[in-house]
């Protein structure tokens, strides 16, 4: 989204500055190293701009700060079971919403926009909110395009198939169509086909 509004650009800069503090590094397609969550935020923005450039401003803001300062609440701080995982995820959602709200207020956003971005970050009304569902499609597309192959290398096939099926269930029909157009490797394509059979 190329917004003419200075506060939108200022918000993105605030989000990026926060995520630039991530001590974890990740390489992009060209091999350049980025702070991990800064790269994730840029990938989210690029994907949303590609699939729905006309999306509301709040969705573009939520896409960029989806994982804001995520590294500060590590998974290992919670029990390594299903209950612990859900507690970690819920803690993250509230934390992301809180940080995003503070930064949006700093650049002059109104309470309604801040509340909307926070609702999107916390995935409220997921199946009944078209904007939230669009954001979920983008989250899933970014995972499949950039993180699926590494995830598949690190986990047993059974778990990979389960994750693909859960990811697919969160997406819209259009999301499925876009996902099937992604440039998967042959191995990833085979896993995807097995999961969706």
Q: What is the pTM of this model?
A: 0.93
Q: How far apart are CA 165 and CA 168, in angstroms?
A: 5
Q: Per-residue pLDDT tens for 120-148? A: 999 987 778 999 999 999 999 999 999 99
Q: How far apart are CA 119 and CA 94, in angstroms?
A: 10
With both helix axes pointing from N to C terminus, report the angle between 130-142 and 36-51 in degrees, rounded to the nearest 10. 120
DSSP 24: -
Q: How far apart are CA 178 and CA 170, in angstroms?
A: 14
30 exposure class (CB count in 10 Å sphere: 0-12, 13-18, 19+): exposed
Radius of gyration of the chain (CA): 17
Would you give per-residue pLDDT tens digits along the chain (197 residues)? 555 579 999 999 999 999 999 999 999 989 999 999 999 999 999 999 999 999 999 999 999 999 999 999 999 999 999 999 999 999 999 999 999 999 999 999 999 999 999 999 999 877 789 999 999 999 999 999 999 989 999 999 999 999 999 999 999 999 999 999 999 888 888 889 999 98
Biggest CA pair distance of the chain: 49
What tokens appear for 197 in the block? 């059979």
Contacts of 36 (CB under 8 A, 6+ apart): 22, 24, 25, 26, 71
User: Whats the size of the chain, residue-wise?
Assistant: 197
């Amino acid at each position: 989204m190329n917004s003419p509004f200075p506060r939108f650009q200022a918000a993105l800069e605030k989000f990026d500055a926060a995520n630039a503090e991530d001590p974890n590094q990740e390489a992009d397609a060209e091999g350049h190293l980025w702070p991990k969550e800064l790269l994730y935020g840029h990938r989210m923005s690029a994907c949303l701009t590609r699939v729905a450039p006309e999306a509301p401003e709040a969705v573009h803001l939520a896409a960029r700060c989806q994982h804001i300062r995520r590294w500060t609440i590590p998974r290992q701080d919670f029990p390594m079971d299903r209950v612990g995982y859900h507690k970690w995820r819920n803690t993250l959602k509230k934390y992301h919403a809180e940080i995003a709200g503070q930064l949006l207020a700093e650049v002059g956003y109104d309470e309604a926009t801040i509340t909307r971005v926070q609702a999107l970050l916390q995935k409220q009304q997921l199946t009944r909110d078209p904007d939230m569902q669009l954001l979920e499609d983008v989250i899933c597309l970014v995972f499949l395009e950039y993180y699926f192959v590494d995830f598949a290398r690190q986990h047993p096939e059974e778990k990979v198939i389960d994750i693909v099926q859960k990811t697919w269930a969160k997406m819209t029909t259009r999301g499925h169509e876009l996902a099937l157009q992604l440039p998967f490797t042959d191995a990833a394509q085979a896993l995807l086909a097995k999961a969706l059979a």
